[in-house]
Amino acid sequence: MRRDTPLFRLAAIAALAGLSAPITPPARAQTAAEEVNPPARVGALTRARGTVSLHAAGADTWSPAAVNDPITPGEGVWTEPGAEARIDLS
């Protein structure tokens, strides 16, 4: 095959493109457990004005909340009338 033919040039370009293509590992699918179990922390209380309380999942009582307290799945947040709470989600 002659090196100055269009077919040779096309074959050379295709070979170079194939060699220079990035090789990446295949993506890993999530398992069923990863899809069902949310992260331990889903957010944080970033602002509290007035009386703000938290109820942990499985707890029997409410406890006073403080700024930067983590918010986890199943946790309850309660404010007195007129109070404010801001929760930033992760």
Strand duo 76-79 + 43-49: pairing:
unpaired
pTM check: above 0.75: no
Give the DSSP letter of residue 73.
T
CB within 8 Å of 40: residues ≥ 6 apart:
72, 73
CA separation for the pair 8, 6 (Å, rounded): 5
> What stretches of 37-75 show up as alpha helix (H) in DSSP?
none
Domain boundaries, given as residue ranges, for the chain: 39-90
Q: Determine the pLDDT at residue 68.
A: 93
50 has a pLDDT exceeding 80: yes
Task: State both tokens at 24.
Answer: 């990446």
Query: What is the model's pLDDT at position 3?
Result: 66
What's the first-to-final CA gap in the chain, in angstroms?
61
